[in-house]
Amino acid sequence: MGLVLAGAVSVQFGSGAATLLFPRAGAAGMVALRLTVAAVLMLAICRPRLRGHSRADWAAVIGLGLVFAVMNSVFYQAIARIPLGPAVTLEVLGPLILSVVLARRAATWLWALLALAGVALLGAGGLGRLTVPGVLLALTAGALWAAYILLSAAVGGRFPRADGVAIALAVAAVITLPIGASTAGTVLLDPPVLALGAGVAVLSSVLPYTCELFALRRLPSSTFAVMSSLGPAIACLAGFVVLGQSLTALEALAVLLVIAATAGAVVAPS
């Protein structure tokens, strides 16, 4: 539970910080910078062993790397078009649907529905600011988030420590760096951009992906998916602290519903 919560807080504050660089580096540039720095850090820390793995191992870790690349690219394109809170609210529908599909008990379905109600309330206040492209991108990111949960659980069982995350991030960096460099150019090498990008890499990739990898070794995927509904609530907090956005009474009620649903899903047997 602590690992999931730490990962959620880290990634949402990282997303808030990333939006500050969009005017200079663009969404594609930020994705490339974030994933490349994260890959370099994780490879230096983990020094993963590349030999002795089966084809199935490599298929899982390369698949996770592809999901890292596309999921982050799509989500950053979404928050470049719509506010962070509503974007995360739409994105979290993917894990919630996954929790219902994977659940083996009716209680899990009820907690997922309660979380969905909270997510709906949380997004209601920002619906007037949404655009069709932004909504479609956020929903696509949600589907990829569900795929990430399944692949991360598989990779965590096939690779020791956080080696799988390090290799997957390297795959994602190879995919996104040429695109980001072609759109942002030498801006990515400016010291202020590089410094903030490194911070975003740690907050949005290194810490959350590692925490979630270890969490998925102990939690059922269905429970983890319901806990992902904390994302919109934490995104609102990040929006308040980083971007100066405030919570209405309705949004505060929605946050309480999401927290209650998450707590119930964790306590209930899978």
Q: Give me the tens of pLDDT residue by residue for the chain, a chain 270 residues long.
A: 788 878 888 887 787 777 777 888 888 998 999 899 999 999 999 999 888 899 999 999 999 999 999 999 999 899 888 877 777 777 877 887 777 777 666 777 777 777 777 767 766 665 566 788 888 998 899 899 889 989 988 998 899 888 999 999 999 999 999 999 998 888 888 888 888 888 888 988 888 888 888 888 887 776 776 677 677 677 777 666 666 656 667 766 776 776 677 667 656 655
Length of the chain: 270
CA-based end-to-end distance of the chain: 15
> What does the domain layout of the chain look like in residue ranges?
2-267
Q: Cα 72–30–142 angle (5° rounding)? A: 15
Please give the pLDDT value at position 267. 60
**Torsion angle of the four alpha carbons 45, 188, 26, 28, in this order, in degrees rounded to the nearest 10:** -50
Radius of gyration of the CA atoms of the chain, in A: 18
Backbone φ and ψ for 238, nearest 5 degrees, come out as -65, -40
Per the CB < 8 A criterion, the answer to whether 197 and 21 are in contact is yes
Q: Which residues contact 233 (CB under 8 A, 6 or more apart)?
A: 118, 122, 254, 255, 258, 259
pLDDT value at position 262?
64
Give the global pTM: 0.78
- Please report the pLDDT score of residue 243 as a whole number: 60
Per-residue pLDDT at 137: 93
Segment 99-125, tens digit of pLDDT: 777 766 677 777 777 777 776 776 666
Distance set, CA 262 to CA 42, 51, 113, 204 (Å): 30, 39, 11, 21
Instruction: Identify the residue whose tokens are 């807080």.
Output: 9
Q: 3-state class of 208 per DSSP?
A: helix
Distance CA 103, CA 220 (A): 9
